[in-house]
Amino acid sequence: MLTVGYSSKPGLNSRDFVFSGRKLTAVPLAMTLVTTWYGAISSVGQEVSYNGITTWLYFGATYYVAAFIYSEFISSKVIDLEISSIPMAIYKYMGRMSALLSVPIVLLYISPAPYLIILGNIINTSLLSPLGIDAYGASVAAGSSVAMLYCLKGGFSSIVRTDRIQFILMFVGFITMVLYLVFYFDPGLSKLLQLKVARPDLFNFPGSAGWSYVVAWGFLAMITFLDPSFHQRTFASKNKNEIKKAIRLSICGWFVFDMMTIFCGLYAVSLGVDMTSPYVSLSAFLFSSNSILHGIFIVAILSVVMSTIDSFTFLSAMVIGKDLPAILNKSYSTGTIRKGILSTIVISLLIVGFFDNSRVVEIWFAFGSYMVASLLVPFVLIILRKKVNHPYLLIAVPSAVTLIWTLLEIQVFLPMYAGLFFSLILSLLLLED
C-alpha cells in the first residue's frame, strides 16, 4: 500500500490534490466507495453475534436504499450546486456562522478514530498477541502512520489507487474463507444448523434487536445524503452518469460483501471465538494449520479497515486544511491540507484515548446522530434551494437538543429523533416566504 500510494503524483494544484482532477470514471469510483464504507468490519461481526441476520437489515438494506436515493435524486444536484463538502455548501448558501457550527459536527463524524481502534485491535490480536506482546497503543499508532504517509504524498489520487488494490484483497480474503467453510470445514453447514437450534433469534427478523433498533438505523442511514465521502467522490467524477453508475455498482458490491460477512460472522458465533475482532479470531481458528490462508485473510481485513482510515483521514484534512480557511476568508493550498492530515491523526489519537476498544459501533452511532439531527434538514433545504432566516439556528438548536437529551438520558426516544424534530419545526418557522 505504501509503495502504490506513494507512487501517485501529487496534483498540480489543490483542486487536483483533493479531487483527482475531477476525471474519475464509474469503476474506480465504485471500488473506492465500496472499500470506504466497510471500515467498521469488526463491528459487523460483533453485531451479528447480538442480532444475527437482522444485522443485514440495518447495516445493509437501509444503506442500499439511501445510496440509491442519493444516486438518482441527489448526486446531480451536488454537481450542479458545486457541493464539494457539507461545510462549503452551508457556507455558500447559509453563511459563515452556520458553516462554522457545522465544522465540528462533520469532523466528529468523519474522524478516523473509531476505525483506528478497530485497526489497533486487529494488529494487536493477529500480529503481536501470538508473540506474547500486548501493545494496543503502538498498534494504533503504527496503523495511522501508514495511512498518513501516502495521503501526504498523493492526496486523493493515492487513495483511489490503493482502494483498487484493497477492493480486490478484501473480496479475495472473504471469498477464500466462505469457500473454505462451505467446501472443507463444514460441507453440510451443520455448525450453522446447530446454532439455529441454540440461538433461533439470530436467524429471524427482527431477532433480539427489535424493530425500533432497525428503524433507528434506518434514520441514521440517511446520513448517506450528508456523507463527505459521497460528496467528494461525486465532485471528483467525470460526469453525472459516471457517479450514478458507480453507486449502482457499489450497491451490488456491498450486497455481495454483506452476505459473506454475515455468513462468516454466524460461524464466528457458532465456534465461540473472541468477538473483540471476530473475523481475525475466526481466521486464526480455521487456518491455524495453514499460515498462507491465514495471511491472505489478515491482509483482507487490514485492507477493509485501512481503506476507510485513509479516506476519513483525508476528508478530515480537507475540512481542516481547505474548508475552514475558505470559510474564514483565508487562502488554502496542498500545504494546508497536508497540515490538516497531520492534525487529523493527532486529534484522532486523542479521541481514541477517551473510548474503550470494545463495541465501536456505539461511537459511530453517537457521532452520526448529531449529523442527522443538525445537518440533514439544512442540506435538504440547500438541495431544494429554499432559504431560511437565521439559518445558524437550524444547526445550533438541534445540536444542543441532541446533546441535552443525551446528557439527561431521557428514555422516551432517541436523542437523534429529538434533534431532528426540532430541526423540522425550526425549518418551518424560519422558512422565507
Domain spans of the chain, in order of start: 2-387
Query: How much is the average pLDDT of 372-400?
Result: 94
What is the structure's pLDDT at 355?
Answer: 67
- Side chain identity, residue 5: G
Query: How much is the average pLDDT of 267-292?
Result: 90
pLDDT above 90: residue 207: no
Query: How much is the average pLDDT of 306-324?
Result: 90
Predicted confidence band of residue 374 (pLDDT cuts 50, 70, 90): very high
Query: Cβ atoms within 10 A of the Cβ of 16, count?
Result: 18
Q: How much of the chain exceeds pLDDT 70, in percent?
A: 96
Predicted confidence band of residue 8 (pLDDT cuts 50, 70, 90): low
pLDDT above 70: residue 10: no
Predicted TM-score (pTM) of this structure: 0.88
Show the CA angle centred on residue 407, arms to residues 377 and 45, nearest 5°: 75
pLDDT above 80: residue 153: no
Q: Which residues of 337-367 are buried (b: 16+ CB within 10 A; e: fewer)?
A: bbbbbbebbebbbebbeeeebebbbebbbbb
Q: Rg of the chain over CA atoms, in angstroms?
A: 21
Predicted confidence band of residue 209 (pLDDT cuts 50, 70, 90): confident
Query: How much is the average pLDDT of 161-166?
Result: 91
Backbone phi, then psi, for 388, in 5-degree steps? -130, 155
Burial group, residue 98, by CB count within 10 angstroms (0-12, 13-18, 19+): buried
Euclidean distance between CA atoms 309 and 348, whole angstroms: 11
Q: What is the CATH number of domain 2-387?
A: 1.20.1730.10
Comparing 306 with 130, which gets the higher pLDDT?
306
pLDDT in tens, 89-108: 999 999 999 999 999 999 98
Euclidean distance between CA atoms 80 and 90, whole angstroms: 15
Comparing 90 with 410, which gets the higher pLDDT?
90
pLDDT above 60: residue 12: no
Query: How much is the average pLDDT of 426-433?
Result: 89
- Whose cell is 435538504? That residue is 380
CA neighbor of 283 nearest in space, from 115, 1, 274, 198: 274
Euclidean distance between CA atoms 40 and 33, whole angstroms: 14
Average confidence score pLDDT of the chain: 88
Euclidean distance between CA atoms 120 and 22, whole angstroms: 34
